[in-house]
Amino acid sequence: MKNLLSRRSIRKYADRPVDEMLLNRLMTEAARTQTMGNLQLYSVVVTRSDEMKAKLAPAHFNQPMVTAAPVVLTICADFNRTSQWARCRKAEPGYNNFLSFQNAAIDALLYTQTLCNLMDEEGLGYCYLGTTVYMPQMIIDTLQLPQLVMPVATLTVGWPAEEPALSDRLPLESFVHQETYSDYTPAAIDAYYREKEALPENQHFVELNHKETLAQIFTDIRYTRKDNEAMSAGLMEALKHQGFL
């Protein structure tokens, strides 16, 4: 798969290992990604053992890819290594703060996306797991992440055993603003979301869940205020625990 226009998330993997040399090559190449101060404020924890995948799974709400994928990568915002380097070189690090977390998280996410693009070129399948930031303390404990290391992304990786249909995207005009941000009128919202709302699978989902609109699927079922607030509290606690707050 070489064209970004045909990329999709892959959640089912063939019973075929992901070669360590191949993965190491891709992870090396991905490090050409731009990074703040060229400090490479990230680390990747590679999980291949069934035992460790089973330990990680609950933190990801037991999404089946975690135990089924040959490899699970947890990408972390990491100011630990840089801070240790500083201390070893008579320099006093000042990175135990929120700005530094934000900078390291940006580095880690940019690295993650480059790695995804490289995996696409090789024909490897992957799925990004946003659950990484829902119960981060479980991941921190399982992977024994020290202070100033915070998990921000997980990729399950393997050779594809499915070819799902391409998912829809909003039209360009819906997310590009010229010169200044032009806020949305109800008519514009109608136009931009019409196609998504008309998709048979989305209409089916609305019916199945006895909802009136597709948006209610997101607000009332998938990403609710209650969950968001509870998991925000957990995220803040984990950031404190890791020394970023």
Q: Which residues bind ligand FMN (CB under 6 A)?
A: 8-9, 11, 63, 127-131, 167
Tell me whether residue 12 or residue 55 sits nearer to ligand FMN (CB atom): 12
Tell me whether residue 8 or residue 211 sits nearer to ligand FMN (CB atom): 8
Instruction: Give least dist CB 37 to ligand FMN, A.
Output: 25
Instruction: Characterize the bridge pairing of strands 149-158 and 125-129.
Output: antiparallel
Instruction: Give least dist CB 102 to ligand FMN, A.
Output: 16
d(CA 176, CA 209): 32
d(CA 102, CA 67): 30
Tell me whether residue 23 or residue 60 sits nearer to ligand FMN (CB atom): 60
Tell me whether residue 100 or residue 131 sits nearer to ligand FMN (CB atom): 131
Tell me whether residue 124 or residue 243 sits nearer to ligand FMN (CB atom): 124
Alpha helices in the chain (DSSP H): 20-30, 50-56, 65-68, 80-88, 98-122, 136-143, 172-175, 186-198, 200-208, 214-216, 225-241
Do residues 77 and 41 touch, judged by C-beta distance below 8 A?
yes
Nearest to 93 by CA among 42, 28, 148, 40: 148
Tell me whether residue 11 or residue 53 sits nearer to ligand FMN (CB atom): 11
Instruction: Give least dist CB 8 to ligand FMN, A.
Output: 4
Tell me whether residue 97 or residue 167 sits nearer to ligand FMN (CB atom): 167
Instruction: Give least dist CB 222 to ligand FMN, A.
Output: 10
Q: Which residues of 36-56 are buried (b: 16+ CB within 10 A; e: fewer)?
A: eeebbbbbbbbbeeeeebebb
3-state helix, strand, coil in the chain (%, to 5): 55, 15, 35
d(CA 30, CA 178): 32
d(CA 201, CA 219): 18
Instruction: Give least dist CB 83 to ligand FMN, A.
Output: 27
Instruction: Give least dist CB 178 to ligand FMN, A.
Output: 26
Q: Which residue is nearest to ligand FMN (CB)?
A: 130
Reduce the DSSP state of residue 77 to 3 states and report it: strand
Instruction: Give least dist CB 63 to ligand FMN, A.
Output: 6
